[in-house]
Amino acid sequence: MPNHLSIPFKKTTDVPIRNAARKYILERYQDTHPDALKWDINQWETIRRDGVGGNVHVDRVKSAQLIPSNPEWNVGQIGLDIPYYPAFNPSGPPTVLRNLAYERAAVLFNLAVLHSQLGAAEDRAKSMPLELGEAFVSHLESLMLAHAQECVWQRAVMDNYKNAVIAKLAKSVSAFYETSRLRARGASPSIRHLLPSGWLAHIETKQLHFEAAAQLRKSVDDLEANRYGHEIARLSLAQALAQKGYDLARRGAVLNTVVNDIKSLLDNVTKNLNRAERDNDLIYHQDVPAASSLPVLQEATMVQSLVAKALVDPKTIVQSDAVIFGELLGWGASRAIDIYKDRCQHWLREEVVDRAQRLDDIITDTLRSLNLPASLEALEKPIGLPPSLLKKAEEVRVEKGPERIETSIEGVQRLAQENMNILNEALDILDQEAEEDEQARADFATDRLPSHEANQDLVSKAERFRGVLDQAGESDEIVRTKWDEWETNITELTWDEADLETAVPSSTTTPSRLSNVPNSTRSHARALRVALESLDDIQRGRREQVARATRLADAEDITPRILKAASGFEQWVEVQPVMLEDVLEEELVKYDKFSAAIQGGESKQETLLAAIAERNDLFLKSRKDDPSVKEREHALQSLDLAYHKYKEITRNLDEGLKFYNDFANILTQFRESCKEWVHMRRMEAHGLAQSMQQMSLKEASPPTTPHQAPQTPIAENDRARFKPAFDLPPPDSDEWETTALPPPPPPRGGWKPQSTPRAKR
């Protein structure tokens, strides 16, 4: 039950490490290209994402220690702004410093906070079945040791060991039964209600039986040593113990075999006592000492608790051909494969796909600013439509462009609402638990944290998710506005060729317009056409590289290579993903050729675009001004731009659909985490209620009556100590922390439980 104060984390947001590091390297190290340090930059981003704090999990301790322990973090200025919010006022403005020493200090602070919150989150309440608790298990352990020792005693009796030895063995049996009884009776909370009827009476009867048997055997040893007074004293003690055990067995629903055994022992002791007293009165006349003055009867313990060697070291018993599910990947190998797939996809998206798209966008923007190819096509084909435009219009017509966009917009809106519904459902779960917590607090006093404090991390996480959805909604609105602006022009591209040709004015009625222009203009036009075709070749080659890289990634299976590498480690060594890092790096090398091809095309593109701009300037200067040509250029350019806007809008919508589908998985995991947290809180509350009820019953029970014998005190080291078997699940589990989230929206005021409908969180 949490009753300790925990320190809150210093919150931060994502920072552009990649951009700052690349800029710093370019400025300070002219002999080193940033791409040569991609792995280092990626590691930095990963370490910061995992180590800056905010996630209460013991695995985060190592991640947090990596940041201040890394010597490269001693650099001070790389032009990177580091923001951290005040720990005790997260709604306030962040402190932003351009110094990595500030990051280092904040991480050290959060490392201490992590230890604080791990301790506060430790579940010290009753949250597991009592029969799996230490008290109950230790009771059963002592009982089984008593059984084992009893078997040793029986074998000694059958083999006619000396009476002194048998007495010591019997004394040890009695001691084990006594320990088992005391652990059951002294356990807190009580475990007696878990035991069958007559169980404790059976154990106590056996304890008295073997205590009496030990005294009987020792009395025979005293007789053989002519200690007749000691013999009578021990027989008297044995008779009292056996009589007490017999009376208890008859009242306590003990098995008939146990009753008969102790009855037989009692008869035997009584018979020997009568004989010993008669002989002493008539012959020996020795004084009979008090039972308390007799020498203490020693124990001879022949059994002990052992952990099976196979459980301590499984390889001693499980052979390689007997491993169940041995063909399944181990955790380390499986995790390494997942890491490789994520790293490969991330690398391809950043270095190939997105880079190729950025270069294509540069071409589109540059040609648009130069009014190409519209100005060239207006001159080359004064009547009709250029083939390039007809091809673009056909693509939009076949894809039913406007219908596709409308359908995608509706899909994005629907998924956005579903995402918000999942988030609201998670918050409703927390609200319901908060209401239950308030009711529980009204029923009985408790010092555990109220819900609106205990679920603060979950609520903070939910607010971050809500901020992400709000930002995504703003992006969706920009795309819808873009569609509203370009809907008419994009719709024109779906017209029939004849209608589209009618909409584009002709620059002249002369079929051979190009033959009437000056030679210099024709020369510049031909040069421009050649340059534009070369530019198309570069784009076509780039698309082929992207397609080849994507096909290779989709068809690749790194599992055999990972299994081969993992099999090289010693058997029974737990394989960690970091142990396979070299394999992952070697496998990623085969994708470098695609990045190199994209990079080579980039330099060619830059040179070609510069030449096109220069040649276009000469073309425009040499061309005669013709209003009809200008009007045709404008119409062709408008349709060409509408095509590019169509591609841009559909790409934005596809990205939106993918985002909401992926984010729905994150929100679903968050909702499940809320359910698990609420379940644990309810179990904790149930345990508290039971404890309060037991305390009430104990206070209301009548005092001990004089005829009741007081219980034997239990030694401190024999008291059962309850130790929880599992922890409260931390709010920020890394199971749903695998996706890097955008920074949260600006704070809009502190959390005040009394001021909002969700105050109970």
Domain assignment present for 572:
yes
Among 20-29, 534-543, 712-721, the least confident range: 712-721
Per-residue pLDDT band at 747 (split at 50, 70, 90): very low
Domain assignment present for 378:
no
Q: Which of 125, 144, 168 is the last residue in one of the domains?
A: 125
* Whether residue 35 has pLDDT greater than 80: no
Per-residue pLDDT band at 569 (split at 50, 70, 90): low
Q: Are residues 348 and 398 in the same domain?
A: no
Q: Are residues 613 and 646 in the same domain?
A: no
DSSP label of 12:
B
Domain assignment present for 418:
yes
Q: What is the predicted pLDDT for the residue at 323?
A: 47
Residue 209 vs residue 573, higher pLDDT = 209
Q: Are residues 457 and 552 in the same domain?
A: no
Q: Are residues 490 and 534 in the same domain?
A: no
Q: What is the pLDDT of residues 700-723, one digit of tens each?
A: 555 444 333 333 333 333 333 333
Q: Are residues 460 and 569 in the same domain?
A: no
Q: What is the predicted pLDDT for the residue at 112?
A: 85
Q: What is the predicted pLDDT for the residue at 150?
A: 96
Domain assignment present for 253:
yes
CATH number at residue 654: 1.20.140.50
What would the two tokens of residue 363 be?
A: 């071409």
pTM (global) more than 0.85: no
Per-residue pLDDT band at 451 (split at 50, 70, 90): confident
Structural domain count, the chain: 4
Q: What is the pLDDT of residues 252-309, one digit of tens each?
A: 889 999 999 999 999 999 999 999 999 999 999 999 999 999 999 999 999 999 988 8
Mean pLDDT across the stretch 383-411?
87
171 Cβ neighbours under 8 A, 6+ residues apart: 210, 211, 214, 297, 298, 299, 300
* Whether residue 55 has pLDDT greater than 80: no
Q: Are residues 360 and 396 in the same domain?
A: no
At 449, give phi and psi (nearest 5°): -60, 140
Domain assignment present for 109:
yes
Q: Are residues 115 and 22 in the same domain?
A: yes
Domain assignment present for 561:
yes
Containing structural domain, residue 237: 157-293
Q: Are residues 444 and 482 in the same domain?
A: yes
Q: Are residues 399 and 366 in the same domain?
A: no
Q: Are 47 and 103 in contact (CB under 8 A)?
A: no
Q: Are residues 183 and 244 in the same domain?
A: yes
Question: How many CB atoms are located within 10 Å of the residue 400 CB?
Answer: 12
Q: Which of 125, 142, 168 is the last residue in one of the domains?
A: 125
Q: What is the pLDDT of residues 96-138, one digit of tens each?
A: 888 878 888 888 888 888 888 887 777 665 576 788 888 899 9
CATH number at residue 560: 1.20.120.560
Question: What does the mean pLDDT of the chain come to?
Answer: 80
Q: Are residues 167 and 197 in the same domain?
A: yes
Q: What is the predicted pLDDT for the residue at 420?
A: 94
Per-residue pLDDT band at 238 (split at 50, 70, 90): very high
CA distances from 52 to 23, 45, 46, 662 (A): 23, 11, 10, 24
Q: What is the pLDDT of residues 293-308, one digit of tens each?
A: 999 999 999 999 998 8
Q: Are 135 and 108 in contact (CB under 8 A)?
A: no
Per-residue pLDDT band at 656 (split at 50, 70, 90): very high
* Whether residue 512 has pLDDT greater than 50: no
CATH number at residue 189: 1.25.40.280
Q: Which of 263, 293, 323 is the last residue in one of the domains?
A: 293
Domain assignment present for 421:
yes
* Whether residue 73 has pLDDT greater than 50: no
Mean pLDDT across the stretch 387-410?
89
Distance of alpha carbon 149 from alpha carbon 300, whole angstroms: 9
Domain assignment present for 617:
yes
Among 72-76, 113-117, 607-611, the least confident range: 72-76
Q: What is the predicted pLDDT for the residue at 558?
A: 84
Backbone φ/ψ region at 384: left (φ over 0), alpha (ψ -120 to 50), beta: left
Q: Are residues 166 and 259 in the same domain?
A: yes
Q: What is the predicted pLDDT for the residue at 422?
A: 94
Most confident of 15-19, 460-464, 511-515, 617-621: 460-464
Per-residue pLDDT band at 457 (split at 50, 70, 90): confident
Per-residue pLDDT band at 314 (split at 50, 70, 90): low
